[in-house]
Amino acid sequence: MSRGPSRREAVLLSAAAGLSALTSCSRQTSSAAAASDEDFGALSSDWLRSYTRQRPSAATALGEHAFDSDLEDVSEAGRQAASTEIRALRERLSMIDRSTLSRDNQVDAVMLSEHLEGQLFAYDDLQDWLWDPLRYSEAAGNALYGLMARDFGPLPERLLSAASRMEKLPLFMQQAQKSLTPERTPRIHAETYLAQMAGVVSIIDSLIKPQSSVLGPSDRSRLESAAATAKTAVEAHSSWVRSTLIPASSGDFRIGSGLFETKLRLALSATISGADLRQQAIKDIDEVRSEMFDVAQTALAANNSNERLGPAPSADRKDAAIRAALKLAYADRPAREDLFSKAAETLETTTRFVRERDLITLPDAPVRVIEMPEFQQGVAVAYCDSPGPLDRHLETFYAVSPIPASWSDDRTQSFLREYNSRSIDELTIHEAMPGHFVQLWHANRHPSTLRAVLGSGTFIEGWACYAEDMMSEVRDAPGDPLRRLITLKWRLRSIANAALDHGIHVDNWSEADAMSFMTGAALQEESEARGKWTRARVSSTQLSTYYVGWREHHALRDEAKRRWQSEFTLKNYHDTVLSHGSPPSRLVRALMFDEMIA
């Protein structure tokens, strides 16, 4: 059902306009300052309107439902129009004297500036629309899934919006097919794309069609016809992927040092180079492994293992000791069919602990463990899917990917060794409690909708990694060294992500190089390493955000301890650091400690 400007659109525009009304920490009162904040508020409103109109599925996820019947225009004309709008908005932003803005608006201006630069970099330099088909499966899948996953409005209205989007899928698929250049498309992207397109069909069959009975005869007939049209379009497009795109795909999945450095700077909102980041990561890997060896010695002694070593053992014997202790932890792992129940169990126990220890203000909205939708599978093991800032009262999904039915028992057991019972607890801490679920709930409470839309992935992932460490500090009993060993292994994983990211896209690591690093220095099971090899090829720079964000969050807490001294408490710190939304950590630091916003 097509809709004009809605109540929710008014909410969105009001939220954008409200950016100019945020209290200025510097108490600027000049008319020039007031005019600048007003100008930035108008610019923010215009940008949000443009953003949600150009990305209807993202608007649905945000909680803006004026465009629920639309699909993204991924044609050449659509890209040109979007690029023109972005350049005009960037020009307007450059004309605003940021020094006269309120401090909150200064932060948002930095975030908007970096976002606009990133969009133009993608259009002009990275040109991912030519070679990355996953952006199309994500847009198509989210367009339908976002309408059905949460009860943000009456079901009949959502079903009619789904019908409208399904009717537009044939054109979308044609545009995607015309945009993609097979010779520039990496094979791994094309193969993953084909698997994810099957997930789009599964959304139609499992989430949309079974609910058609709530519609009247005419609307139900329209929905069924739209579903058939969409499935035919997806199947035809998938046939093209099989027959043309995959066989001709010969692009390099490595983006190269030049593009990587620019994309890394924009992803991290930081000045550290890729080479320096990789060097720091290798140093920290050695330090973490050293601590893992000490913990392993304790664990082996507690279990009367013969692997205990005397002073100054060789590197090989240290490695053997760590692996022997990890093997003890791997023995406690769920059965294949108990993966989801174990995740739900750890969500309950970690929530109870955080509440009892009063470590942070907890959300008043629900979170639920779900099976990861098929169109999202094949890249990550789990993720947190939070509602948008305009739908923040709705539930959050802690999505876990099922073990593929096609996996052999050996591969399944390798996966379950990696995701043993203690590791699932770490996964829950990271994705839900007190990781992404809690942090994003706090972020959605900030009055700036723009800031919520442009949240820093480095801040968000860094918080979740910091949460793992923090929980280890306050919860882990000295009598369970295996618990500490698994926490350290997860820290090692975050650091190794950054080294892998650079190694593949800049240092031209082969599959053998990457697998040797992950199963060797990073101590990962082969199943995990193979999954990460795929993820590192179909993405770039995102894997670096965990490690950089983890370092930044620990640095922020250390600075708060130094400044606040006796007034420092974990809850006070956590609530304060999360009260500013999800800007880059350097901007959170400036807001927290009244430093210059650069």
Residue pair 156/214 in contact (Cβ under 8 Å)? The answer is yes
- Report the share of the chain in percent with pLDDT over 90: 88
CA-based end-to-end distance of the chain: 45
**Residue 74 to residue 171: CA distance in whole angstroms:** 10
State which H helix or E strand residue 133 sits in.
none
The whole-number pLDDT of residue 302 equals: 87
Looking at residue 400, the DSSP 8-state letter turns out to be: E
Lowest mean pLDDT among 269-273, 319-323, 394-398, 572-576: 269-273
The whole-number pLDDT of residue 310 equals: 64
The whole-number pLDDT of residue 32 equals: 60
**Residue 580 to residue 377: CA distance in whole angstroms:** 32
Q: Taking all residues of the chain, what is their mean pLDDT, rounded to a whole number?
A: 92
DSSP string, 540-584: -STTHHHHHHHHHHHHHHHHHHHHHGGG--HHHHHHHHHTT-S--
The whole-number pLDDT of residue 29 equals: 46
pLDDT class for 374, splitting at 50, 70, 90? confident
Angle at 58 between CA 56 and CA 60, to 5 degrees: 70
Q: Which two three-digit tokens encode residue 510?
A: 């082969």
Hey, how many other C-beta atoms are within 10 angstroms of the C-beta on 526? 16
Calculated CA dihedral for residues 18, 21, 23, 27, nearest 10 degrees: 160
Higher-pLDDT residue of 270, 113:
113
The whole-number pLDDT of residue 309 equals: 63
Give per-residue pLDDT as tens, 75-90. Answer: 999 999 999 999 999 9
Q: Amino acid letter at 222?
A: R
- Tell the burial category of 478 from Cβ atoms under 10 Å away from its Cβ (0-12, 13-18, 19+): exposed
Checking if the pLDDT of 324 tops 70, the result is yes
Q: Helices 585-593 and 570-578: crossing angle, nearest 10°? A: 110
The whole-number pLDDT of residue 25 equals: 40
Give per-residue pLDDT as tens, 350-360. Answer: 999 999 999 99
Lowest mean pLDDT among 257-261, 473-477, 484-488, 531-535: 473-477
- Report the share of the chain in percent with pLDDT over 70: 93
Checking if the pLDDT of 3 tops 70, the result is no
Phi, psi at 451, each rounded to 5°: -65, -35
pLDDT class for 598, splitting at 50, 70, 90? confident
Lowest mean pLDDT among 4-8, 184-188, 378-382, 537-541: 4-8
User: What order do you get walking across the sheet with 382-385 strand by strand?
Assistant: 367-371, 396-400, 382-385
